[in-house]
Structure 1
Amino acid sequence: MNRKSYIIFGILFLWIATFLLGIYIFEARNSKKVFEGIYIGQVYVGGLTEAKAREKLANFVNTRLRDPLILQYSDKTWNIIPEELVEVQIEKTVHEAISAGKSKNFLFRFFNRVKFSFNPKKIELAIKIKDEPFQKILEIISGEIACEPKNAEFKIIDGIIRIEKEKEGIKVDEENLKQEILKIVWSEKRKISVPVIAIKPEITQETLSKMNIKEEIASFSTKFDKTQAGRSTNIRLAAEKLKNYIIPPGEIFSFNNVVGKRTIEEGYKEAPIFLNNKVSAGIGGGVCQLSTTLYNLALLADLEIIERSNHSLPVSYVPLGRDATVNYGVIDLKFKNSTGGYLLLYTEIKGDTLTMKFYGSKKSDKKINIVSEVVKRIPPPVNIKEDYSLEKGKIHVKEGKPGYQVRVWKITTYNDGRQEKKLVSTDIYNPTTTILYVGKKEPQTQTHPVESQKS
């Protein structure tokens, strides 16, 4: 290498060194400033120190957060103040802006600075929804616009079957509403259409139409005492659970599963029940009249009885052998829809009469009659008890009631006159004991006062 080459190389090296030194000094002097070309959201913070960037950003944030937002759905509107609803992390965002493009290598920092000046960088404001205030607003809006879907359902009016069309429900789209608020909070536009989600009903008019339920196929009624308030309440509650219940072909119906637990929380009252061969008070008393009425309806519809138990004592509202007791989790009434089509169970209470009906696709061409036969009368046993509150020699009788052995027959009459007799059940009803209270109280001896004579 000749002398001239050394000189050129030296000048070039000196120029590069000077250039690099200049870059180093420039970067050192501006290391605490945000690079040119950097935005935080809509706010330009290029060339500002951290303190100035924080101040400028805070002014913008405070202005926007105090400007109300309008949430709108149909003709309803709600005003909200963003400041109460969102949390902005200014410190975190400004720190991100200050750090953007900063490298330990001053040359890399310089190259990033040049890059941002030609291709600006936008840093999103660190913002999040405050959960508790948002849930309060959501609750208010939902309370005014949200609604549950309504299934299509059968309506029986004057014996005519109609189908009431289903209705969609709606609920507020919570996540989308959050995103809409976060999106619009920095915008000049201050109105948001509340996003909603349509909720499809499970049962549609088309679904019910395909069930081909057209006419009444069986009916049975029992009477109850309306003056027994608790019992009447229980009967009405259980009847509502059973009303319009659809039983698909081949399905086994469970009374306990459909009616559910009979508890105070469910609204059931205390009323008379059979317990340990006597009448006692219990929650849900009277519900057995529903199971009994339904049992008789199932027999008349010629359904297959899977599970049924009689009461320990006779009931007043059906003939002997035609009752069906239930006790949640212990005793159930179950039968199978063996008709080959869908069945609609309809319940109705008018005055003191409970009526249950089955509707289906076609009424049977056979007639069914249920007959009770008392096989044996069981006399009440006699129990003698001493009664020390009753005078000796006297007897007080508390009459018991006889028990019965009963057979129930189903007699089917066909169109051609043929009859078929089938045993349905054989039941035992316990007698209640006759009690003879024998008096043991000793009669009191009368005493007369002795007169004293003065002399």
Structure 2
Amino acid sequence: MILMSRKFYIYISILLLCITCSAYGIYSYESRHGDDIFGGVYIGQVYVGGLSLKQATEKLKKYVEESLNDTIILYYSEKTWDFNPKGVIDVKIDRAVEEALSEGKSKNFILRFINRQKLSRMPKKIDLAAEIKEDPFKATIERISKDIAREPKNARFKIVDGKITIENEIEGIQVDQESLKQEILKAIWSRERKIPVPVTTIKPEVTAETLIKMNIKEEVASFSTKFDKSQVGRSTNIKLAAEKLEGYIIPPGEVFSFNDAVGERTSKEGYKEAPIFFKNEVISGIGGGVCQISSTLYNLALLTDLEIIERSNHSLPVSYVPLGRDATVNYGLIDLKFRNNTEGYLLLHTEVKDDTLTVKFYGSKKNDKNIKIVSEVVKKIPPPVTVKEDYSLEKGKIRIQEGKPGYQVKVWKIVSHNGTQEKKLVSTDTYNPTATILFVGKKDPPAQTGTAESQEEAKPPADTPPPGEPALGNQ
């Protein structure tokens, strides 16, 4: 019994000695290699096991530099673009090395030893994090977008020689920036250096199917006015405003606003200076001539028997429509508005050919009413007389600048339908007269050296418009 006890103690002592020696060996090993990365650790595709912080950093930097210097080919359809990742990709090398260095580490050397053995059997891969710098990447997106991006294009009605067709919609295309970033970040660590550019499509708001359902198929009404095409600024403004209105669709029940449809008339939008009315005078202003568009459209609305919501006449008569049938506009102040009180959609078509502006409404059917617009001059207002001194004209002489009369006008709409006729008052408008000006000479005559010359008859200057000449339209 005593012999067995001695043997047991001997065995226990030997075991403890072995354990102590092993622990000491483990401790010694961990002390020597504790600052290195454990074996079995990868950063991305780079093996860094057994390397020090400095060695792993240098090895990783070399790998990253080689990867970023290798050009990536981006392509879409038949177009290609070279993309150099260097300068655009920011790789977090230090962060990855620190994570690799801490992998499996513990204050307890036994646990560190156990973790080291685990990693040798089951390697650990640490992601090599990378980010794309926004500013340089933006330049890449702009370069690609310039070649492939397009805005969506709505389906639209097209009218040629009075025939209505529908031009199909076109989907828009834009680069999917976030997806492209992810694909590039994958590609920089891959041997595959050619990747497609991901795109997203943008659906148009109006499709051909939408237009077909509107059932617009024939002309409802039209109205035309003439303009002086030699007045380049005014002609340009008329054409610009007409283009804004071309193809405009007014749903049933909707109120049309001229200012909303055409927008602000500014030089930035391409509008030129041309004659406008201001305080009973003709002056130059941006957008002169646009009122001819609004007045022409106003007459079209009357002939279509639409409900007029807002309309103002000019302060002076205009030349392109009869008295009482004009409609002045001024963005933000004066508008032309009318309601589509028909049961169907109305399509507005504008044409500018040579010296003629034409506006037309197209709809599902012709108006079965016969409509006539008549202007009635109720009162003619004589021009007042104003006397002004003229120091450029000799004493005793008079120069006359003829004024123009004003008018009070009533406009009637005569509607004939199914054998009946109805006369409706549309508006009562007043146009101001322009004064006749007597310029009285105040300049001293030159010294007389001979017989007195006979006084010439007073004549208007060459730039004075003859009496009765039509006034120019406001913007």
Using the size of structure 2 for normalisation, the TM-score is: 0.90
CA distance in 1, matches of 2:343, 2:21: 99
Aligned-residue offset at 1:9: 5.3
CA distance in 1, matches of 2:223, 2:145: 44
Q: Which amino acid aligns with 1:419?
A: Q
Of the candidates 426, 430, 433, which is equivalent to residue 431 of structure 1? 433
Q: Which amino acid aligns with 2:426?
A: V
Is residue 275 of structure 1 aligned with residue 278 of structure 2? Answer: yes
Further displaced range: 8-17 or 288-297: 8-17
Aligned-residue offset at 1:324: 0.1
Of the candidates 161, 165, 188, which is equivalent to residue 162 of structure 1? 165
Q: CA RMSD in A?
A: 1.7
Q: Which amino acid aligns with 1:161?
A: I
Q: Which amino acid aligns with 2:430?
A: I
Residues 245-256 of structure 1 mapped to structure 2, 5 A cutoff: 245-256=248-259
Q: Which amino acid aligns with 1:381?
A: P
CA distance in 2, matches of 1:63, 1:110: 35
Residues 124-139 of structure 1 mapped to structure 2, 5 A cutoff: 124-139=127-142
**What residue in structure 1 maps to residue 305 of structure 2?**
302
**What residue in structure 2 maps to residue 33 of structure 1?**
36
Q: Which amino acid aligns with 1:303?
A: L
**What residue in structure 2 maps to residue 174 of structure 1?**
177
Identity across matched positions, percent: 68
Of the candidates 399, 402, 414, which is equivalent to residue 402 of structure 2? 399
CA distance in 1, matches of 2:239, 2:349: 13
Query: For 1:313, what is the secondary structure of its paired residue?
Result: coil
Deviations 1:113-134 (A, max 9, x none): 2222222111111212132322
Aligned pair count reads: 446
Deviations 1:294-343 (A, max 9, x none): 10111111110000000000000000000000000000001111112111
Further displaced range: 404-413 or 29-38: 29-38
**What residue in structure 1 maps to residue 422 of structure 2?**
420
Aligned-residue offset at 1:6: 5.9
**What residue in structure 2 maps to residue 381 of structure 1?**
384
CA distance in 1, matches of 2:190, 2:382: 91
Query: For 1:309, what is the secondary structure of its paired residue?
Result: coil
Residues 107-256 of structure 1 mapped to structure 2, 5 A cutoff: 107-256=110-259
CA distance in 2, matches of 1:245, 1:300: 18
Deviations 1:75-122 (A, max 9, x none): 111122222431223222222211222222323322322222222111
Deviations 1:128-158 (A, max 9, x none): 2132322222111111111111110000011
- Structure 2: tracts of 5 or more residues without a match: 451-475
Aligned-residue offset at 1:417: 1.8
CA distance in 1, matches of 2:174, 2:60: 36
Q: Which amino acid aligns with 1:140?
A: R
Further displaced range: 417-426 or 110-119: 110-119
- Structure 1: tracts of 5 or more residues without a match: 449-455
**What residue in structure 2 maps to residue 451 of structure 1?**
none
Q: Which amino acid aligns with 2:414?
A: I
CA distance in 2, matches of 1:289, 1:9: 115
Aligned-residue offset at 1:205: 0.4
**What residue in structure 2 maps to residue 75 of structure 1?**
78
**What residue in structure 1 maps to residue 445 of structure 2?**
443
Further displaced range: 127-136 or 396-405: 127-136
Deviations 1:145-198 (A, max 9, x none): 111111100000111111011111111111111110100111111110111111
CA distance in 2, matches of 1:112, 1:262: 76
CA distance in 1, matches of 2:282, 2:382: 19
**What residue in structure 1 maps to residue 107 of structure 2?**
104
Query: For 1:437, what is the secondary structure of its paired residue?
Result: strand
CA distance in 2, matches of 1:282, 1:320: 23
Q: Which amino acid aligns with 1:116?
A: L
CA distance in 2, matches of 1:13, 1:156: 103
Of the candidates 337, 354, 362, which is equivalent to residue 334 of structure 1? 337
Aligned-residue offset at 1:13: 4.5
CA distance in 2, matches of 1:12, 1:370: 121
Q: Which amino acid aligns with 2:373?
A: I
Is residue 322 of structure 1 aligned with residue 325 of structure 2? Answer: yes
